[in-house]
Amino acid sequence: MAILFQSTPASVARWRPFLTKAWPGRDLRFWPEIGDKSTIDYALVWHPEPGLLASLPNLKLILSLGAGVDHILRDSELPRGVPIVRLVDPYMTQAMSEYVVLQVLRLHRQDFAYRAQQAAGEWRELAQKNAAERTVGLLGFGQLGQDAAAKLTGLGFDVAGWSRSGRTVPGFRTYGGAAGLNALLRRSEILVSLLPMTPETEGVLDARLFARLPRGAGLVNAGRGRQLVEADLLAALDSGQISAAVLDVFREEPLPAAHPFWRDPRIIVTPHVAAETHPPTAGAIYAQAIEDFEAGRPVANVIDRDKGY
């Protein structure tokens, strides 16, 4: 049995010593040194090259090196019938919640305005709402969204969540479907997107969506870059419909040096770091998935390809 690890050169360098130590005796192959393709049973991948997975004739299980699987599903040659496992890691959930809380507080406490005042040498107190008076909406209300919502609620924010299915979550106001999306947007002074990448969420953060938010709303996008229509965000910022935005994901990564987001004082850019994969915890989860598969037990977090998550 062989396990292929495929990712960026930096990620391979970071994971190689950990996996070699954590999985002694395993036949580990690190991209691009993969050896005999016919002997590879499992693949841990991040943005695999089109056709790579299809070239492994005895592949049994595909494991995503992140919470999202859109980087796998976009491969037109993806082999049918091979289960795909997304990463659900409490460490990453905690990290995402930290990021969301930080950025919601940044927007809530008017950090953008105070930074502008500091640059101008202006000492002026701004009127400030209490957290209980601030409405926050989360797009995407799975494990990540629910954990972030719980932590925001603990700080006193008025939080609601939206999911495609409109699942009921005890203790939270939840919405679903198109009508539910309208209702959530109307009440969200700060909107946080944690949506998975699917054909339905491509370009969802656009002018039509921004127009349904309260004027001057703040935006946090830690979902996927292709969900944001960048020109529409800049127009919404110029009109005042959106007051400020924090973006962790982008259509092109790394974000090109000439991109206008870098120099816009109304936008904070972070380099896709909201919830990075953590080798010690993720490695144990991957090992358990492979062990369960080999033993014929159900494997946790196998995705539904039709839904895209």
- How many CB atoms sit inside 10 A of residue 293's CB? 19
CATH classification (class only), 2-89+277-294: alpha beta
| The pLDDT value given to residue 172 | 95
Task: Give phi and psi for 193, each to the nearest 5.
Answer: -105, 120
Give 1's pLDDT tier (boundaries 50, 70, 90): confident
Looking at the DSSP bridge assignments, the partners of residue 267 are: 245
Q: Which of 22-26, 126-130, 203-207, 209-213 has the lowest mean pLDDT?
A: 22-26
My answer on whether omega of the bond before 254 falls inside 30° of 0, hence cis, is yes
Compute the distance between CA of residue 272 and CA of residue 265 in angstroms, rounded to an integer: 19
Q: Any idea what DSSP says for residue 217? A: E
Q: With residue 282 as reference, give the H or E element that holds it.
A: helix 279-294
The runs of H, that is alpha helices, within 40-173 are 70-73, 90-108, 111-119, 143-154
| The pLDDT value given to residue 128 | 98
Averaged confidence pLDDT in the chain: 97
* pLDDT tens digits for range 59-110: 999 999 999 999 999 999 999 999 999 999 999 999 999 999 999 999 999 9
CATH no., domain 90-269 = 3.40.50.720
- Could you give the residue numbers annotated as active site? 224, 272
**Over residues 26-52, mean pLDDT:** 97
* pLDDT tens digits for range 157-201: 999 999 999 989 999 999 999 999 999 999 999 999 999 999 999
Please, what is the Cα angle at 230 between 224 and 236, to 5 degrees? 120
Q: Kindly report the pTM of this predicted structure.
A: 0.93
* pLDDT tens digits for range 265-299: 999 999 999 999 999 999 999 999 999 999 999 99
| The pLDDT value given to residue 141 | 97
| The pLDDT value given to residue 126 | 98
- How many CB atoms sit inside 10 A of residue 166's CB? 15
| The pLDDT value given to residue 212 | 98
Structural domain spans, the chain: 2-89+277-294, 90-269
| The pLDDT value given to residue 22 | 87
DSSP helix/strand/coil, 184:
helix
Whether the per-residue pLDDT at 230 is higher than 90: the answer is yes
Q: Hey, what are 154's tokens?
A: 């603990």
Same fold, 2-89+277-294 and 90-269: yes
